[in-house]
Amino acid sequence: MIMLTLAERERLFAANEKLAFSACTHWVRTNKGFVERYNLQRDDLDSVALAALWMATEKWNPSRGAFSTIATLAVHSRLKHVLRHHSTAKRGFGEHEPESLDARLPGADSLTLGDTLRAPLSESPERAVLGAIINPVLWQAVEKLPRGQAEVIRLRFVEGLSVQETAARMGVKYNNVSALANSGIKKLRAACQHLDLWV
């Protein structure tokens, strides 16, 4: 398998951003009913498309076909994954759906949904991730990520920088920060499932 350098991947990504947006637009039109039903926001879907594009640059082998074909398939596949996730999440707890965070969880005498949260509701998602990163085992998993992904995780979730600030600090495009963060978080989730940690 031919591995592209980071600079080659960034050029390939930049050259195909419009393709990712176009593939996302086509997918949204094709799945309009689902997009409306699950209240999927276009800018969120665009971010997913860009993350899929970035991941495609990592997996693409020039001897196996045109990048545009692989990228379009990657975008559609990732968007389908998001739709499946939202449709499953909307089902919630079924007949045991709690009315509040203080509601008791089925089968747990003293455990509430609120007890399962790692961070106070007033904290931002970034602060919740920071609380998880303090776990030394998780921090080791962050250290094993590719350099760009680990750096984005540190800058965004430990230092609390915005996407724009992170892009400026790293010298990359705004969209690359989201793609790197999404790829890194996906790898962290897989590593944490393997280690029985929550992320």
- pLDDT 10s digits, 34-53: 888 888 888 888 888 988 88
- The reply to whether 127 and 195 lie within a common domain is yes
Among 68, 91, 114, residue at a domain's last position: 91
List the domain range (segments joined by +) for residue 196.
122-199
- The reply to whether 85 and 138 lie within a common domain is no
**Most confident range, picked from 14-23, 77-86, 129-138, 153-162:** 14-23
pTM: 0.46
**Within-domain flag for 139:** yes
What percentage of the chain exceeds 90 in pLDDT? 9
**Within-domain flag for 147:** yes
- The reply to whether 82 and 29 lie within a common domain is yes
**104 SS3 class:** strand
- The reply to whether 72 and 133 lie within a common domain is no
How far is 117 from 121, CA to CA, in rounded Å? Answer: 8
**Within-domain flag for 164:** yes
**Within-domain flag for 185:** yes
**Within-domain flag for 158:** yes
Q: What is the mean pLDDT of residues 147-165?
A: 83
- The reply to whether 10 and 81 lie within a common domain is yes
Phi then psi dihedrals of residue 161, to 5 deg:
-75, 150
> What is the number of domains present in the chain?
2
Query: 3-37 pLDDT, tens per residue?
Result: 788 888 889 889 999 999 999 999 999 888 888 88
- The reply to whether 150 and 75 lie within a common domain is no
**pLDDT grade, residue 97 (50/70/90)?**
very low
**Within-domain flag for 23:** yes
- The reply to whether 141 and 86 lie within a common domain is no
- The reply to whether 86 and 127 lie within a common domain is no
Non-local (6+) Cβ contacts of 112 within 8 A are 98, 101, 102, 103, 104, 105
Q: What is the CATH number of the domain that holds 177?
A: 1.10.10.10
**Within-domain flag for 66:** yes
How far is 107 from 105, CA to CA, in rounded Å? Answer: 6
**pLDDT over 80 at 108, yes or no:** no
